[in-house]
Amino acid sequence: MTQTTLETTTVAAGLPQVSHPRNPGMALDMDWVMGAQANTSAIERRCATLPGRRTVKKEYQAAWLARAISCIDLTTLAGDDTPGRVKRLCAKAMQPVRADLLEALGLPDLTTGAVCVYHEMVPYAVEALAGSGIPVAAVSTGFPAGLSPYPLRVKEIEESVKAGAEEIDIVISRRHVLTGNWQALYEEMKDFRAACGEAHVKAILATGELGTLRNVARASLVCMMAGADFIKTSTGKESVNATLPVSLVMIRAIRAYQQVTGTRVGYKPAGGISKAKDSLVYLSLMKEELGDRWLRPDLFRFGASSLLGDIERQLEHHVSGAYSASWRHAMA
């Protein structure tokens, strides 16, 4: 096994964020879209080597896990969400790890990347996070299916932005991908991007419902061409959510788009990432495929909640040498 040597100071949270231009989009290039292919067997072989080939230990592992925390969109998207639950989650976002552990790690200012909620909960999250610098992300456009009337989907974005959401996670119409109607997907994404105004937009592809990795590659390109600031795997509500093969396809689409346009687009795997060791694999994949610049929360996020609890357990082990029970690290 190889120790992935990224210096602690470059991975740890608390670094000033380097701003970069938003994705302005480009004209739909159908030749590029239709030329996108995916060699499934080669992709799966590449991904199968990642967990065993890359490992980090001791202070390096602690630093990478701290970086993972800073890239989490701490999320609650349940039917029984209440203002109180959201406010407690926001408190956890502002202090994601116990104060004594943060002091021992030398990371007193560590926070999560954002808090993600339904539209109805946006005002409560905005109030709870005021002055923290942590943005509120709202899921929108008829999340998770994206099948509500089109004018209502656009209006929902506008209302979430008006309520204070700085990031909008939209869901695309899967039928456009499944029927190959790339022009319709492009126009839809452009409308959603325009409705977001200054708020960053993350395009959720719902990759578990797109059928093939080739469709994932093409949908990724179309959404970026239409101005998506991030592309995201899943809503977390599908039967298959984030996977390494899907991530590799989307990451390489991001790399190709950056090489052609010079514009960086972010990536967000969501759903099913609940273990600290899994977060390390995803960070390694980002580093190898896109480089260190994509290890910052302005270009990489985890859509997760339970992941934070397991990372906190691992950090306590690093500090104390002993594992604690999961109930000691409640989300709220």
Tens digits of per-residue pLDDT, 170-197? Answer: 999 999 999 999 999 999 999 999 999 9
What does the alpha-carbon distance between residue 191 and residue 170 come to, in Å, rounded to a whole number?
Answer: 11
Q: What tens digit of pLDDT does each residue of 220-271 get? A: 999 999 999 999 999 999 989 999 999 999 999 999 999 999 999 999 999 9
Residues 267-286 pLDDT 10s: 999 998 999 999 999 999 99
Return d(Cα 29, Cα 34) in angstroms, integer: 9
Q: In angstroms, what CA-CA distances link 212 with 178, 192, 219, 255? A: 9, 25, 11, 20
Contact 202, 139 (CB under 8 A): no
The packing angle between helices 276-290 and 58-70, to 10°, is 80
Mean pLDDT of the chain: 91
| Radius of gyration of the chain measured on its C-alpha atoms | 19
Amino acid at 198: E
How far apart are the C-alpha atoms of 244 and 52, rounded to whole Å? Answer: 14
Residue spans of the domains in the chain: they are: 26-320
Number of Cβ within a 10 Å radius of residue 41? 7
C-alpha span between 230 and 73 (Å, rounded): 13
pLDDT value at position 232?
A: 98
- 52 Cβ contact partners less than 8 Å away, ≥ 6 residues apart: 1
- CA torsion sign for 32, 37, 38, 42 is negative
pLDDT above 80: residue 27: yes
CATH of 26-320, one of 3.20.20.140, 1.10.357.10, 3.20.20.70, 3.40.50.1820: 3.20.20.70
Catalytic machinery residues: 169, 232, 268
* CA of residue 44 relative to chain centroid, distance: 22
Query: 317 phi and psi, to 5 degrees?
Result: -65, -40
Are 65 and 314 in contact by the 8 Å Cβ rule? The answer is: yes
Q: At residue 225, what is the residue type?
A: M
Residue 246: name the closest of 280, 283, 206, 273 by CA: 206
How many Cβ atoms are within 10 Å of 258's Cβ, its own excluded?
Answer: 17
Q: What is the pLDDT of residues 47-103, one digit of tens each?
A: 998 887 667 788 999 999 999 999 999 999 999 999 999 999 999 999 999 999 999
- Whether the CB-CB separation of 287 and 254 falls below 8 Å is answered with no
User: What's the confidence (pLDDT) of residue 321?
Assistant: 84
Which residues have C-beta within 8 Å of that of residue 167, sequence separation ≥ 6?
114, 116, 135, 136, 137, 138, 199, 200, 201, 202
For residue 294, pLDDT over 90 is answered with: yes
What's the pLDDT at 123? 98
> Strands (DSSP E) along 103-196, which ranges?
114-117, 136-139, 167-171
